[in-house]
Every structure is written in C-alpha cells, then in structure tokens.
Amino acid sequence: MKKVYLFFFLTLFINTNIFSDDGYRLWLKYDKIKDKKILDSYTSQIKGWIVEGNSPTILVAKEELQKGLNGLLGKKIKELSQIKNNIIIAGVYSQSHYLKNINLSESLVEISNEGFVIKSIKIDSKNVIIITGKSDTGILYGIFHFLRLLQTNSNIKNINIVSSPKIKLRLLNHWDNLNRTVERGYAGFSIWDWHKLPDYISPQYKDYARANASIGINGTVLTNVNANAWVLTHQYLIKVAALANVFRPYGIKVYLTARFSAPIEIGNLKTADPLNEEVKQWWKNKVDEIYKLIPDFGGFLVKANSEGQPGPQNYGRTHVDGANMLAEALEPYGGVVMWRAFVYDSNIKEDRAKQSYNEFKPLDGKFRKNVLIQVKNGPIDFQPREPFHPLFGAMPDTPLMMEFQITQEYLGQGTHLVYLAPLFKECLDSDTYSKGPGSTVAKIIDGSLENHSISGIAGVSNIGTDRNWTGHLFGQANWYAFGRLAWDHNLSSDEIAEEWIRMTISNDNEIVSKIKSIMLKSREDCVNYMTPLGLHHIMGWNHHYGPAPWIKDKHRDDWTSVYYHRADTNGIGFDRTATGSNAVSQYFPEVAEIFSSVEKCPEEYLLWFHHLPWDYKMKSGKTLWEEICYHYYNGVEGVKETIKIWDSLKNKIDNEQYNHVKMLLNIQLKEAIWWRDACVLYFQTFSKRPIPDELEKPEKSLDYYMNLNFPYAPGI
Ligand code: GCV
C-alpha cells in the first residue's frame, strides 16, 4: 500500500509543476541559479559576507543580501566578523572599519548621496567585493544591484560599478481611493487597507517597499490626484504614518495628494482662497501636524482646476498663488509641492493640446523653490503615442517633473502585453532644442540642462491586490522599467527588458531573446491596432475600454473622439499647423518646423499635426487610407506573431506564467481585431474606399461594434 502512495506522489511531483509561479515575488525571486558553471563561479567568489552598521536601513539591506545569496547560491552563505578571502563587504565608506585605508576618492566623488560603488579589490591581500557609498540607502541600492547581477547571471569578476540616480525624486503615484477602488487600476483594489491601518500592517507593505527600493524608487504618493480631503484628517494621518514607518528603512518617503478645498471640507473654514490668512494658517497647522507624525513626509501632489477638481482659480487666484501657499507651509520641513500641469477646460475654445502650455508658460520662474511642475509626457493624456509635451523646455526657470502612466489606461488596460519602456524612452530622448540641439526631455527633467537643484519623475502605478501585483505578468515589467529609467534614463529598453526577463522568467538565452523580441515590438503593435499614424483619443467613453471613434455630441467636446480625429469625406487628422490650431508654434522652431511640414513630419505623428486627404500619398506609395488599413492589420498580425512566439515557450518556462500570459494574449488578439475592425469600418464611412483586397474583411458590422456596452468595465 505504502509503495502505491509513494508511486502516486512521485508521479504527481514529476507531472505537475508544484513550484508554479504566481508572480507574487516579482523580480526578486532569488531561486537557485540553474547554470552549474555560473553557480560554481559565484560560489567560489562569495564565501561569506560582512555588512557594517545597524541602522534600520542597514538591517534590511543585510536581510536582503542574506536572503538573496542563500537563495541564489542554494546554501547558507555565512555572515563573518573578520575579513577572509572571497567575501563581500558592504558599508558606508565614511563609517567603515574595513575600508578606512582604501582610497576610493575617485569613485566616491562621482556619486550622489544615494549612489553606490561595487568593486573588486584586495584588502590585506584578500580578494573582496565591496559595496559602498555615502549613505545607508546607497548601500541598500548597491546590494540590490549586486543581487541583480547575480540574478541575471552577469560576470562579477573584476567588477567595478559606480552608479547614482540621475533624478532626485523617483515616485510612484497611486490613484488609489480611500474606499480601495483604484482610478484606472486594472489589478484589483488598492493595496492600502485603510480600514485596518494603523494596527494591522499587511506583510505586503514591506514587500512593496522592497520591490520599489530594488529599482531605486524613493517616494510614493499614496492617494488619487482626484483627491479626498479625508486623508488629511488626524484619523487618516495616523494610518499614513504607519505606512511611512514600514517604508522608511527602504528609503521611501510618503507623499499625499492635497485636495485644495480641504480647509472647507475638513477644516470648517468658509473659503480655501490661497491668499486668505486663515486658509494659509490652516495649511501650516496641517503641515505641522503631518510632520509631527511623519518627520520625513515628502510633500503634496496637487491636481487643481482640472477635470472638476477645486483650485485657486475658484477664487480668482493663479496656480502660482495655490502652489506657493502650500510650498511655504512645507518649506521649513524640506517638503515639496508637485503641482500638476494637466489642465484644460472645455469652455475655452482652444485646442486642448495647447491649453496646459498656455496656462503654465507665463508662470515660469514665479513658483517657490520647493515647487515642481508635474507634466504628463504628452500634451493630451497618456495616449499610445503622443509627441512630447511642449512645456518641456519652455519653463527653464521652473523644475519640471515627468509624469508617465504605468497603468495601461489607454494601452489595453489589464489584458494587453505592452512593454512601455520604448514609450518612456521615446519621450525622454526627444530633443526639445530649448537650448540648441541635444536639449532632450531627459536633461530637462533631471535638472541638468538648467541646473535645477530638485528634479523628479512620477509613474502612475499599476499595482493592486491581484496576487501578482499588476494583473498582467508583463505589467510588472512596466513598473520595473519605470524605476530603472528613473534611476538612469540612459539605459535602453532592450537592457531593461533583458534584466527583467532574466529575473522574472528565465536565464536561458534563447528564451530571453524570444521574450525580448515580443516585448520590444509590443508597443508598436498596440499603436498599430489602436491609434496608428498619429491618431489619438478614439477609445470608449468614460471607461476608456475598447475602440469608439464614433463618440460625439457629449457635454464636453474635448472628451469626444471626433474632436481628435476630425474625419470627414475630405480626409482625416487634426490640423495643428498654422492653418489649424497652430499647436506646433508651442515647440521650439527646429521642432515646429518638422512637425508643421507635412513632408518632414514623422509619419507616426502625421495625423496628430495634419488633416490630410484620404488619397494623400504616403512614403510607401500607398494612399493614406490604404496606409491606415495596413497599420491596423499589421497591428493584429503583430499580436498573432507574439502568440506564436509565446506558444513556442510551452514547457520551457514556468507553467503558471505560461498559461496566465497565454490566456491574456488570446484576449489581446480578440481585442486587437475589435479595435482594427471597428476603426477601419468607422473611418471607411468617410473615406468611402474599399479595404485593400488582400486584407481579410471584418466579420461584424459597424453597428455591432457601436452597440457594445460595458457598464462594469474596471478602473473607473
Ligand atoms: C486621475 C485622465 C484619466 C483620469 C485621470 C486624469 C488625470 O483624464 O482618464 O482618470 O484622473 O487623466 O490625470 O488627472
């Protein structure tokens, strides 16, 4: 009988993947290295470790190193109390007992307070790898980087790495509400369990902090920019403080969104006028209260006078008045105000793409020193492709922060595999020409172009209560890529993808290159099946799910689709040249000249800037109508190709990861076809031209698509 049981369990063990990966461990899995040669080489170079210091940050760094080494090398790697051959020594240089006679001035001079140095050296004729820097957080970042090298099976012989973050504030923005819904969140509910805080500390908070610290994120805005004043009540601030306590050792500060009308809503004042003395005092008292509870509180993020949010303009005041009032209250504590430039008003009869620039450019240089203006990457709203926002370069006397969206509101939400690093890079690498060639967006936001002492970048989070944090496994890659680019915007999309795949899925070279090929083309596929050639904002009403280029006649023009694509029997596209809205004039002349010329404008932005006839001849020789069709069809073909590549990974990667992505890819394919057919059929009503013969014809009618309804689409 016993033998039968044994046989049964053995068969079960062999045939089922009992170690299936549910995604919770993200890229910090620390599973034993599979390649024997690499494992042996690491084991011979890492025979023990010393981490100097005992601050809370050093303690978590130590814990991470221990966990990482033991897991990756598959055995206990000992903590030592004296130097031996082939060990790791980590510690802050100025406080280190072991490094005091080692001259590192050349490397240390290069790094900032958060930077690190990882170097193979000899101490007392012993080979050691040192991980050092100027602060405890630098050591933590260095340890995470070292573990990343092991996780990606990199060579650590004669290692010499000197690294510092290029941008100072590297933040996630959670659009999380106090009732735990998440605006534009597609991975379940908010991970902040406000009701049980501060007494119940979910272990996930620590894992959240670890994950963020591992990619250098040093701040988190806990609440939605469509803000709720309640988070500023004492009752909630205690909860915020409890989260701050968990995050602090990981170098992460908490920030909150400040609802501009809070003095009225929770302070019983009659006004929130930023020039009113009582209002100013209310904010000062509130800030004092916050810092008593959270001494390292980061500051406020504010969405004001935008999409119905209250702001200084309700009182005839300006963004400067509003931001400076808050900044004055925060200044004694070193806190900052991140004031969003995402403003537009349907009552203003001006191209929405121009409004933010029009409102903010004149305010350049008028903000207090601790104010950053947070600008979305493009002038509309996180579309699959937008040209860079014209404010970049236009406000040299004000630190501008980047706001990217990691959550995929407009790029397939929770079900499409779209790797966003290429989108982020496209914007960061764009040349604004604000100070001549080479004035890239990246140099503006990292503060180097104008020598600003503060700089920042924010990513709207895609994290929720789903077991794998981000709903889609590849959503993790976007969180990861955001952090890595925030640290170093010179990294390539390719390098970042490779790191993530190796840590999350497999170190097998063939598998890595297949998955990388999928990731690197995924954003372009998505642009093709959703909004090719510069089309934008043609998605479903309100929930933004699926295609709906037919949206018109709503209470706000600038929330319809027809406002943006302007298709008619003559042609399609938004004329933003001098004959149209002249949005091109907001760019520096070198850029404006390119965008406004129909010949020079890159085709990927063509219909963003130009209204062109259906028979307009494209570079390919096809007509514009044909080109639109081919782009939509190519997008779908791209997803089919992705599925083929993914299928070839069956039984080569973890089963649960494989199946999870496989099912989602099937949804993506269905939805890509839906986008293609709905858009092509709709635009055909204007072009009145046939879909090219060689392309398969849509199965369903336009009416069918126009009558689809999704009252419970997620993320609203
Ligand atoms: C938080 C878009 C989104 C809104 C979001 C807004 C913003 O309009 O659809 O959900 O609100 O941007 O960034 O403030």
In a domain, 274, yes or no: yes
The reply to whether 151 and 201 lie within a common domain is no
Contact 636, 672 (CB under 8 A): yes
- Number of helices (H), then strands (E), belonging to the chain: the values are 22, 16
Of 141, 163, 185, at which residue does a domain stop? Answer: 163
Report phi then psi at 88, rounded to 5. -110, 135
State the residue range of the domain holding 672.
528-574+611-706
The reply to whether 198 and 234 lie within a common domain is yes
Q: Is 633 in the pocket of ligand 1 (CB under 6 A)?
A: no
175 CA: nearest ligand 1 atom: 1
580 DSSP 8-state letter: T
Best CA proximity match to 506, nearest among 129, 106, 48, 152:
152
| Residue 115 CA to ligand 1 centre (angstroms) | 34
Asked if the peptide bond before residue 547 counts as cis, ω within 30 degrees of 0, the response is no
User: Which helix (H) or strand (E) segment is 133 a member of?
Assistant: strand 126-133
The reply to whether 246 and 273 lie within a common domain is yes
Q: What is the model's pLDDT at position 11?
A: 47
| Residue 203 CA to ligand 1 centre (angstroms) | 30
In a domain, 17, yes or no: no
| Residue 382 CA to ligand 1 centre (angstroms) | 9
Alpha carbons within 13 angstroms on the beta-carbon side of residue 367 total 29
Find the Cα–Cα–Cα–Cα dihedral 225, 227, 233, 237, rounded to 10°: -30
Active-site annotation holder among 64, 331, 409, 431: 409
460 CA: nearest ligand 1 atom: 13
Rounded Cα gap, residues 590 and 391, in angstroms: 15
Alpha-carbon distances of 532 from 50, 543, 549, 635, rounded to whole Å: 54, 21, 13, 9
716 CA: nearest ligand 1 atom: 10
The reply to whether 450 and 559 lie within a common domain is no
Question: What are the beta bridge partners of residue 149?
Answer: none
| Residue 358 CA to ligand 1 centre (angstroms) | 20
Catalytic, 381? Answer: yes
Write the DSSP string, 360-376.
HGGGTT-S-TTEEEEEE
Q: Is 184 in the pocket of ligand 1 (CB under 6 A)?
A: yes
In a domain, 190, yes or no: yes
> Two tokens at 583?
């949005």
- CATH number for the domain spanning 442: value is 3.20.20.80
184 CA: nearest ligand 1 atom: 10
Alpha-carbon distances of 142 from 48, 49, 116, rounded to whole Å: 17, 14, 5
Active-site annotation holder among 63, 207, 265, 307: 307
The reply to whether 644 and 699 lie within a common domain is yes
544 CA: nearest ligand 1 atom: 9
Q: Is 27 in the pocket of ligand 1 (CB under 6 A)?
A: no
Q: Is 344 in the pocket of ligand 1 (CB under 6 A)?
A: no
- Give the number of other Cβ atoms within 10 Å of residue 707's Cβ: 8
The 3-state DSSP class for residue 621 equals coil
In a domain, 515, yes or no: no
Contact 676, 696 (CB under 8 A): no
User: Which helix (H) or strand (E) segment is 170 a member of?
Assistant: strand 169-173
Contact 110, 162 (CB under 8 A): yes
Q: Is 404 in the pocket of ligand 1 (CB under 6 A)?
A: no
> Does the pTM of the predicted model rise above 0.75?
yes
The reply to whether 218 and 252 lie within a common domain is yes
Write the DSSP string, 429-484.
T-B--BTBTT-BHHHHHTSTTTT-S--EEEEE----SSTTSSSSHHHHHHHHHHHH
Find the Cα–Cα–Cα–Cα dihedral 576, 577, 583, 584, rounded to 10°: 130
225 CA: nearest ligand 1 atom: 1
Write the DSSP string, 236-276.
HHHHHHHHHHHHGGGT-EEEEE--TTHHHHTT--S---TT-
- CATH number for the domain spanning 550: value is 3.90.1330.10
Best CA proximity match to 90, nearest among 30, 145, 44:
145
The two beta strands, 612-613 and 571-572, are antiparallel
In a domain, 512, yes or no: no
The reply to whether 147 and 202 lie within a common domain is no
Rounded Cα gap, residues 552 and 449, in angstroms: 42
Single-letter residue type at 619: K
Q: Is 716 in the pocket of ligand 1 (CB under 6 A)?
A: no
In a domain, 673, yes or no: yes
Nearest residue (by CA) to ligand 1, atom 8, is 381
The reply to whether 81 and 134 lie within a common domain is yes
Contact 349, 146 (CB under 8 A): no
Rounded Cα gap, residues 479 and 485, in angstroms: 10
Spatial strand order of the sheet with 48-51 comes to: 78-79, 48-51, 87-92, 126-133, 116-123, 160-163
Count the domains in the chain: 3
Question: What are the beta bridge partners of residue 456?
Answer: 169
Q: Is 183 in the pocket of ligand 1 (CB under 6 A)?
A: yes
Single-letter residue type at 455: S
- Give the number of other Cβ atoms within 10 Å of residue 365's Cβ: 10
Q: Is 472 in the pocket of ligand 1 (CB under 6 A)?
A: no
Of 113, 132, 163, at which residue does a domain stop? Answer: 163
> Two tokens at 515?
């998955």
> Two tokens at 336?
């900052």
In a domain, 589, yes or no: no
Q: What is the model's pLDDT at position 4?
A: 53
In a domain, 33, yes or no: yes
The reply to whether 81 and 217 lie within a common domain is no
> Two tokens at 332?
């004694």
The reply to whether 346 and 310 lie within a common domain is yes
Rounded Cα gap, residues 445 and 391, in angstroms: 11
Q: What is the model's pLDDT at position 12?
A: 47
- CATH number for the domain spanning 84: value is 3.30.379.10
- Per run of 10 residues, the mean pLDDT along the chain (length 716 residues) is 52 52 98 98 98 98 98 98 97 97 95 98 96 98 98 98 98 98 98 98 98 99 98 98 99 98 98 98 98 99 97 98 98 98 93 98 98 98 98 98 98 98 98 98 98 98 98 99 98 98 98 98 98 98 97 95 98 98 98 98 98 98 98 98 98 98 98 98 98 98 98 94
The reply to whether 117 and 188 lie within a common domain is no
- Give the number of other Cβ atoms within 10 Å of residue 490's Cβ: 12
> Two tokens at 449?
């172009």
Q: What is the model's pLDDT at position 6?
A: 54
| Residue 184 CA to ligand 1 centre (angstroms) | 8
| Residue 189 CA to ligand 1 centre (angstroms) | 17
Of 101, 136, 163, at which residue does a domain stop? Answer: 163
The reply to whether 228 and 145 lie within a common domain is no
Single-letter residue type at 347: N
| Residue 375 CA to ligand 1 centre (angstroms) | 13
Alpha carbon of residue 97 to chain centroid: 39
